[in-house]
Amino acid sequence: MFPPRKLYSVPLAHGGVLELGTRPLVMGILNVTPDSFADAEPLTDPDRAVALALQMEADGADLIDIGGESTRPGAEPVGAEEEAARVLPVLEALRGRLHVPISIDTYKAAVAEAALRAGAAIVNDVSGLLYDPALAGVAASHGAALILMHTRGRPKDMYAAAQYQDAVAEVTIELRDRVARATAAGVPNERILVDPGLGFAKQPGHSYGVLARLPEIAAALDRAVLIGPSRKSFLREAAGGRQAAGRDWSTAAAVTAAVLNGAHIVRVHAVAEMVQVVRTAEAIRRA
């Protein structure tokens, strides 16, 4: 028997509601950066980014996550002005054209503020409020949903912090603290989702353990769970040493495990392919 997937109704900015749990949703990744770790070709042209977002929706994406700063291990930080300059033209061009909710992938309060004004409905913070605690207040003031991801340290040094006695237990405790910070800043509990942060401040064994024991995290936190395994370095060995763009088969296996273990949302690059994976895994789960 597979673990149950609890139902949640998550209010979004601008009046929408995200219904989670009846089936796993697919979030398409749109990295508007010159240095994304996972894309074979940098996506810096707003017109191309808009076309790709629309194609992701046509391919079955339920949400689109737009980011303007790479958070890959070793990445250099980008200023808020530069990050906003990358994402805002795309957000503005998609207004009224994209029919699925948009998430802004940022840890900066200033970028989140501008993106929410431009039509984003969700804030996806890879730092879980560690880098800019003011982000929670921005999400609260706009009525946005807030995704809190687990990590330690900064991208330049995150692997040095990948020291755990029990990764699942410690990730759960630290995510519970991040949720408490968000609610203290005025974000209602019903608007908060969690992401255990596969690959972030975790060695491959930690990420596989988190994925395998996902039901424990979901039950302990009582929050909808997003899982983002797509093309990450913890899959490198299983993928035969392939570079990120060649890891879609290993990503498919991780996505299948996430769905079978009750993930509410999976965050992926190859939307068309992973929609098929998600639907097949869900069919097995239901059977």
Domains identified in the chain and CATH numbers = 17-286 (3.20.20.20)
What is the distance between the alpha carbons of residues 162 and 94, in angstroms, rounded to a whole number? 38
Instruction: Please tell me the pTM assigned to this model.
Output: 0.96
Active site residue 181: no
Reply yes or no on whether the pLDDT at 197 is more than 90.
yes
Asked if 226 and 147 count as a contact pair (C-beta separation under 8 A), the reply is: yes
Give the model's pLDDT for residue 42.
61
Across the range 201-224, mean pLDDT stands at 97
Tokens of 160: 């040095």
Helices 134-142, 167-184: crossing angle, 10 deg rounding: 60
Q: Which of 28-42, 77-91, 144-158, 161-175 has the lowest mean pLDDT?
A: 28-42
Please, which pLDDT band fits residue 36 given cuts at 50, 70 and 90? low
Reply yes or no on whether the pLDDT at 283 is more than 70.
yes
Reply yes or no on whether the pLDDT at 187 is more than 90.
yes
Residue of 86, 191, 231, 267 marked catalytic: 267
Residue whose token pair is 């997937």: 5
Reply yes or no on whether the pLDDT at 39 is more than 60.
no
Model pLDDT for residues 227-250, shown as the tens digit of each residue: 999 999 999 999 999 999 999 999
Look over the chain and give the mean of its residue pLDDT values, rounded to a whole number: 95
Across the range 199-225, mean pLDDT stands at 97
Q: Pick from 169, 183, 255: which is nearest to 213 by CA?
A: 169
Give the model's pLDDT for residue 91.
97
Q: How would you classify the pairing of strands 102-105 and 145-149?
A: unpaired
Model pLDDT for residues 127-179, shown as the tens digit of each residue: 999 999 999 999 999 999 999 999 999 888 888 889 999 999 999 999 999 99
Residue type, 65: D
Task: Mark out the alpha helices in 102-166 (DSSP H runs).
Answer: 109-117, 134-142
Active site residue 267: yes
Rounded-to-5 percentages of helix, strand, coil across the chain: 45, 15, 40
Q: How many CB atoms lie within 10 A of CB 243?
A: 13
What is the distance between the alpha carbons of residues 142 and 114, in angstroms, rounded to a whole number? 11
Tokens of 74: 């070793």
Q: Is 9 helix (H, G, I), strand (E, B) or coil?
A: strand
Residue of 108, 232, 247, 285 marked catalytic: 232
